[in-house]
Amino acid sequence: MIHPLETIRSAERLHRLICQCTLCPRLVAWREEIARVKVARFQSFTYWGKPVPSLGDADARLLVVGLAPAAHGGNRTGRIFTGDRSGDWLYRALHRFGFANQPQSIDRDDGLRVKDCYVTAVLHCAPPLNKPQRDEIANCRPYLAREWELLTRVRVIVALGKLAFDNIWPLVSNQRQRRRPAFRHGLEIWLDSGQTLIASFHPSQQNTFTGKLTEPMFDGIFARARQLLQEQAG
């Protein structure tokens, strides 16, 4: 299937197209099974069970890139980074530094709005065990690439996790022959375009429960993003 992405001129239209995607049979089957079977604590919920669109508009100066929706998070709520602990961490941090109007991320009708920020992911469907396959990443990559083309005002990119960092790098580096730096938390790269790429550990339970990522560490990433935007605006 050829994506008609060259005809998409707005983030809103792209979001609608993402929600219709059926390119990955394994992911389609998984997301729909999860939505049908559910888990005990969410039996009363009607699951979204479709690809989860990005959040934000094309005027944003901050781009946040994650891995994929959680099976009982975004796959349930229909909004990226919503309804799970990773989303709790992300939107608390965004709120602290003025990128969101509230710190809670409960469901897609809870009134959350991001400000000067666009949140997306490498994959828009929940993968089994949070481990996408290479062909699934490749199938979703054109969406991320088109988003990057539409987001012409972005000045700071925050990549949450190594997979996000590896997949956004070819789009933002502008020099494909340039060797990709080794991922590490807090890595900051000044791009040829004048934009800044910041790497962060993903706020997954695996990282936050073990103390690999602490809240001050995570806050530091978005404090730096805010500082860079203020410096560039001044």
Residue 106 identity: I
Residue 52 identity: V
Task: Report residues of the chain scoring pLDDT below 50.
Answer: 1-2
CA pair distance 107, 4, nearest whole angstrom: 30
Residue 133 identity: Q
Give the pLDDT of residue 1. 45
Q: What share of the chain is helix, strand, coil (3-state, %, to 5)?
A: 40, 10, 45
Phi, psi (5° rounding) for residue 130? Answer: 60, 30
Give the pLDDT of residue 193. 85
Give the pLDDT of residue 92. 98
Question: Does CATH number 3.40.470.10 belong to domain 10-233?
Answer: yes
Give the pLDDT of residue 234. 67
Element holding 161 (H helix, E strand): none
Distances (CA, A) of 49 to 27, 32, 223: 10, 5, 34
Tokens encoding 157? 């990119």
Q: Tell me the three state secondary structure of residue 207.
A: helix
CA pair distance 144, 219, nearest whole angstrom: 25
CA pair distance 154, 193, nearest whole angstrom: 11
SS (H, E, C) 153-203: CCCEEEEECHHHHHHHHHHHCCCCCCCCCCCCCCCEEECCCCCEEEEECCC
Element holding 212 (H helix, E strand): none
Give the pLDDT of residue 2. 47
